[in-house]
Amino acid sequence: MHHRDLSFVRSLVLSVAVGLILALSVVVDARAARPDFAASAQPAAAPLEPNAKRAHLDPDEARIRELHDKLQITESQAGQWEAVARTMRSNAKTIAALVQEKRKDKMTAVEDLRAYQEIAAAHAKAAGKLADAFEVLYGTMSEDQRRLADSVFHQSRRDVAGFR
């Protein structure tokens, strides 16, 4: 494979990885994995803080709350939403640990590509888990909520991956 081809493959894999990172909010704060932090979190359907007060939240929690608001999750959907949020947190923790494990200063080109391959595969598996959890929530949504969800995910896909 030519250098230009390897560069394209690496850029493509990196773009997909970055896109999934952003779409799934995979940069995790260590507090999210602690039982004492999870126990102190508000219930999914509880009123959420105004956007201005969310700055203190880690990026994953902010994204979870943003989605909660945008999708207009109801009290009756709290259980399904919590499964989605829990999946997002778990995926974030898993991917962050893998990225940290694979981060090295000196890697050969092959090692670098293999690391990207493993991370991309983990992202794909995480996306599948999220899709499974979200599908259950989506089944409980009103038509208006489904349109919102379709729009939110369509926009995220366009912004991150360049799809039109």
**pLDDT tens digits, 6-53:** 444 444 444 444 444 444 433 333 333 333 333 334 344 444 455 545
The CA distance from 19 to 25, in Å, is 10
| Domain membership of residue 136 as a residue range | 3-161
CB-CB contact of 152 with 67 (8 Å): yes
**Which one has a higher pLDDT value, 50 or 149?**
149
CB-CB contact of 15 with 21 (8 Å): no
Number of domains in the chain: 1
Question: So what's the pLDDT on residue 58?
Answer: 87
What confidence tens digit (pLDDT) does each residue in 99-137 have?
999 887 788 999 999 999 999 999 999 999 999 999 999
